[in-house]
Amino acid sequence: MPERPPQTHFAPSPAAGVALWGLGFMAPTVAAAVCLACGPPEKPLVRAGLLVAGVGGSLLVGWIGGRRILASLRTVADLLGALREGDLGLRGHVRPGHDPLQGLISDVNELSEELRRGRRVRTEASRFLGKTLVALHSAVIVVDEHGAIRLINPAARQLIGAERKSVIGADPATLGFAEAMGAPDGSILSHRFPAASGRWAVRRATWYSDGREHTLVMLHDVSAALNEEEHRAWQRLIRVLSHELNNSLTPIGSLAETLTTLLARYGANTSQVELRDGLEAIARRSGSLARFVGGYGRLARLPPIVAQPFRLDLALARIAQLEQRVPVALEGRVALVVHGDEDQLGQALVNLVRNAAESSMLTDGGVRIDWFAQGQEAWVEVVDSGIGLPVTDSLFVPFFTTKPEGSGIGLSLARLIVEGHGGSVGLANRCDGERGAVATVRLRLAG
């Protein structure tokens, strides 16, 4: 509430003002009584005149004061009635002087102004929210505690083909929103609405208004973004497949053509050594191609997750003992319990530690494993002092590898397993000035 301007005259409070008016009302009578008590008793006319003057003065003061107080009270009553009716523009006139209730009128005026200012702010905020909902491309639906629609924006109306149909108060299930209203927060929903279909990211929020529960559901169409991401994934997959298939089929075709030429030219006199070497080369390349295709089968045929609580720190200690090629230091000290499939997560962590060790072998370095709790997550960091990461965005692409004898499925498999547990895997070069890379795994702690 804004501060009142400084007053240049004495303004008593209403209670003090009424008390002063009461004293003013009694003053003439008290003065006449004093004069009668102190004056000469032998002058009855004078004494009678003083008594009449005193009583008349008190009545006059009381009449004037009563009219002013009643006028002020009527003004206050009118102002309060206007507030009750929602009229915040009415103001009472504040007379100058020492009227005991003028301060009360001024306070009611300030209250009206503050309420008017608050209503203007709420109206502007409501208009801004309304225009935001209209301009929003995401569908927004608000339902009350009984499940009836209380607000729906144009994007949501378009999903059900109800741009000009009244749906306020309707049951969302009857309009095709049943599955969307029941979807958990943060989920991706594939659904066909009466007027549109696609994949939708679901966000939910619950709040209380006037003691009643309201639920907001927002549906954001992510079909285009997911399709684009899938398109890029297919491009990377086809690029890797084309590269590996060409690497195998080109030499197989060349060797087969060479053997055919030798047989056509020399017939039975063809050297058995040349035939044997050529066939062995074809067999090796065919076996390599079979292992390559089988690797994709491994990624696609992961067993179901059998989740249960287990000590992540103890699992990391066992994994460190498996790596004997380079020194592996354990830096974590806290006990962490996560909920997941220990065998699958162990395989993912083994792959990360193995990659770190193989990189460190090239520089005669070592590996450090640290773990700690961050909020509701368990963080695992595998830090190596190897050659660092190549500049590429294909680190997690299946069968992408920079190692001459690498299979290219270790990182892909690790990421697939960790993300299947609701976690994430990240790879980055070290930022502490040292050479090497850091693999970071984030998993939810067991509740």
Q: Report, as an integer, the average pLDDT of 169-186.
A: 87
For residue 145, count other CB atoms closer than 10 A to its CB: 11
Strand partners, 201: 188, 220
DSSP 8-state symbol, 408: S
pLDDT of res. 8? 42
Mean pLDDT of 37-66: 65
- Whether the per-residue pLDDT at 328 is higher than 80: the answer is yes
What is the model's pLDDT at position 97? 60
* Residue 11 pLDDT exceeds 70: no
pLDDT at 33 over 70: no
Q: In the predicted model, what is the mean pLDDT of residues 427-436?
A: 87
pLDDT mean across residues, the chain: 77
**pLDDT level of residue 327 (50, 70, 90 thresholds):** very high
Q: What count of residues does the chain have? A: 447
**pLDDT at residue 316, rounded to an integer:** 93
Please report the beta strands in 193-270, taking only residues with DSSP state E, as ranges in sequence order: 197-209, 212-221
The more confident residue out of 215 and 240 is 215
Decide: 326 and 361 in contact? Cβ < 8 Å: yes
Residue located via tokens 């292992």: 291
- Provide the strand spans (E) within 247-405: 308-311, 328-330, 337-340, 367-374, 377-384
Q: Which fold has domain 136-221?
A: Beta-Lactamase (3.30.450)
Q: Note the pLDDT tens digit of each residue in 142-165.
A: 999 888 998 888 888 888 888 888
Token pair 């969302």: residue: 172
Integer Cα distance of 340 and 380 in angstroms = 15
Residue 322: per-residue pLDDT = 83
Please give the pLDDT value at position 124.
Answer: 85
Q: What's the rounded mean pLDDT across residues 66-71?
A: 75
pLDDT value at 123 more than 50:
yes
Distance CA 140, CA 220 (A): 9
Q: In this model, does residue 395 exceed pLDDT 60? A: no
308-444 CATH choice from 3.40.190.10, 3.30.565.10, 3.40.640.10, 3.40.50.300: 3.30.565.10
Neighbour count for residue 27 (Cβ, 10 Å): 14
pLDDT of 435 higher than 50: yes
pTM attached to this predicted model = 0.42
Give pLDDT, residue 67.
Answer: 75
Phi, psi of 326 (to 5 degrees): -135, 160
270-284, 310-324, 388-402: lowest mean pLDDT where? 388-402
